[in-house]
């Protein structure tokens, strides 16, 4: 539904933190929508709307992941950390 190309002009390192906060808020919105049984949109429409929301979240998380990996690489952390020799 939503394609990563929608964010292709963004630099992940410039947007990953904002996207992480946004994804967290969107996930909460989806959870609250599924927990709400007090009327409004019918269940079939609610499920479809949450599915689209999860698709958006997944696409935004790709930016978060790419940005985080960029920071790890620049800071030489995580998988990019120099290998240390174990000394006895």
Q: What is the mean pLDDT of each run of 10 residues along the chain (88 residues)?
A: 83 94 96 85 84 94 94 91 76
- What is the per-residue pLDDT for 6? 86
Q: Considering its fold, how many domains does the chain have in total?
A: 1
Q: Kindly state whether residue 8 falls inside one of the protein's structural domains.
A: no
Residue with tokens 């904002």, as numbered in its chain: 18
Q: Kindly state whether residue 4 falls inside one of the protein's structural domains.
A: no
3-state class (DSSP) for residue 37? coil
- What is the per-residue pLDDT for 18? 95
User: Residue 83 contacts by C-beta under 8 Å, 6 or more apart in sequence?
Assistant: none
Q: Kindly state whether residue 25 falls inside one of the protein's structural domains.
A: yes
DSSP state of 81: S
Domain containing 73 equals 14-80
Q: Kindly state whether residue 5 falls inside one of the protein's structural domains.
A: no
Q: Kindly state whether residue 74 falls inside one of the protein's structural domains.
A: yes
């Amino acid at each position: 539904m939503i394609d990563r190309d929608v964010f292709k002009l963004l630099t992940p390192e410039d947007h990953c933190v904002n996207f992480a906060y946004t994804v967290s808020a969107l996930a909460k919105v989806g959870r609250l929508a599924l927990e709400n049984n007090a009327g409004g949109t019918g269940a079939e429409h609610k499920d479809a709307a949450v599915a689209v929301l999860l698709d958006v979240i997944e696409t935004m998380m790709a930016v978060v992941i790419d940005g985080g990996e960029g920071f790890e690489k620049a800071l030489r952390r995580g998988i990019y950390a120099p290998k240390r020799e174990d000394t006895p």
